[in-house]
Amino acid sequence: MLTNSSMPFEPSKASWLLAQLQKELERRAANCRLTDYRPYPKQREFHAAGAIYRERMLMAGNQLGKTLAAAYETAMHLTGQYAPWWDGKRFNRPVRWIAGSESSELTRKGVQRLLLGPPENENEWGTGSIPKDSLVDWSRKQGVPDAVASILVRHVSGGISSIQLQSYDQGRSKWQADTLDGGWLDEEPPLDILTECLTRTNTTLGPIYITMTPLEGVSEVVRRYYLEKVGHLTMMTIFDVEHYTDEQRAAIIATYPEHERKARTEGIPQLGSGRVFPFDRAQVACQSFEIPAHWPQGAGIDFGWDHPSAGVRVAWDRDSDTLYVTAAHRAKAQTPMLFAAATLPWGVWLPWAWPHDGKQSGGKFDAQDQQQLQAIYKKHGLAMLFQHAQFEDGTNGVEAGITEMYERMETGRLKVFAHLLDWFEEFELYHRKDGLIVKLNDDLISATRYAIMMRRYFAMQKKPKKVREEEHGAAPRADGLGWLA
**b/e sequence 226-259, b meaning 16+ C-beta within 10 Å:** bbeeebbbbbbbbebbeeeeeeeeeebbeeeeee
pLDDT at 470: 58
81 near 131, Cβ under 8 Å? yes
Whether residue 187 lies in the annotated active site: yes
What is the Cα–Cα distance from 313 to 474, expressed in whole angstroms?
Answer: 28
Q: What are phi and psi of 289, to 5 degrees?
A: -155, 165
Average pLDDT over residues 213-222: 83
Q: Is the pLDDT of residue 8 over 60?
A: no
- Classify residue 455 by its DSSP letter: G
Average pLDDT over residues 286-301: 96
What is the Cα–Cα distance from 238 to 261, expressed in whole angstroms?
Answer: 11
Q: Is the pLDDT of residue 4 over 60?
A: no
pLDDT at 111: 96
pLDDT at 268: 83
pLDDT at 54: 97
pLDDT at 483: 45
Choose the most confident range, by mean pLDDT, from 88-102, 419-433, 456-470. Answer: 88-102
390 near 452, Cβ under 8 Å? no
- Tens-place pLDDT, residues 122-174: 999 999 999 999 999 999 998 889 999 999 999 999 999 999 999 999 988 88
pLDDT band at residue 27 under the 50/70/90 scheme: low
Question: Minimal CA–CA distance to 310: which of 331, 289, 340?
Answer: 331
Sequence-ordered alpha helix ranges (H) in 104-202 = 104-107, 113-116, 191-200
Of 63-67, 300-304, 307-311, 370-374, the poorest mean pLDDT is in: 370-374
Average pLDDT over residues 425-448: 85
What is the Cα–Cα distance from 165 to 151, expressed in whole angstroms?
Answer: 8
Q: Is the pLDDT of residue 381 over 70?
A: yes
Q: What are phi and psi of 321, to 5 degrees?
A: 50, 50
What is the Cα–Cα distance from 116 to 132, expressed in whole angstroms?
Answer: 8
413 near 321, Cβ under 8 Å? yes
Q: Is the pLDDT of residue 476 over 70?
A: no
Where does residue 274 fall: left (phi above 0), alpha (psi -120 to 50 degrees), or beta otherwise?
Answer: left
268 or 89: which carries more pLDDT confidence? 89
pTM, whole model, 2 decimals? 0.65
In whole angstroms, how large is the CA radius of gyration of the chain?
A: 30
- Tens-place pLDDT, residues 313-362: 999 999 999 999 999 999 988 999 999 999 999 999 999 999 986 443 44
Choose, from 73, 187, 188, 196, the residue flagged as catalytic: 187
Average pLDDT over residues 296-306: 92
Beta bridge partners of 312: 300, 328
**Cα–Cα distance list, 466 to 471, 478, 480, 482 (Å):** 9, 18, 16, 16
H or E stretch at 470 = helix 465-472
pLDDT at 484: 44
- Tens-place pLDDT, residues 74-109: 999 999 999 999 999 999 999 999 999 999 999 999
What is the Cα–Cα distance from 55 to 57, expressed in whole angstroms?
Answer: 7
Cα 380 to its chain centre, rounded Å, is: 34
Q: What is the mean pLDDT of the chain?
A: 87
pLDDT band at residue 2 under the 50/70/90 scheme: very low
What is the Cα–Cα distance from 439 to 452, expressed in whole angstroms?
Answer: 19
- Tens-place pLDDT, residues 43-86: 999 999 999 999 999 999 999 999 999 999 999 999 999 999 99
Sequence-ordered alpha helix ranges (H) in 37-138 = 41-49, 66-79, 104-107, 113-116
414 or 223: which carries more pLDDT confidence? 414
Q: Is the pLDDT of residue 267 over 80?
A: yes
What is the Cα–Cα distance from 404 to 392, expressed in whole angstroms?
Answer: 14
Question: Minimal CA–CA distance to 332: which of 300, 357, 309?
Answer: 309
pLDDT band at residue 261 under the 50/70/90 scheme: confident
22 or 200: which carries more pLDDT confidence? 200
163 near 147, Cβ under 8 Å? no
Q: Is the pLDDT of residue 394 over 70?
A: yes
How does DSSP assign 79-101, residue by residue? Answer: H----TT--S---SS--EEEEEE
pLDDT at 473: 55
Q: Is the pLDDT of residue 28 over 60?
A: no
450 near 300, Cβ under 8 Å? yes
Percentage of the chain exceeding pLDDT 90: 67
Average pLDDT over residues 193-204: 95
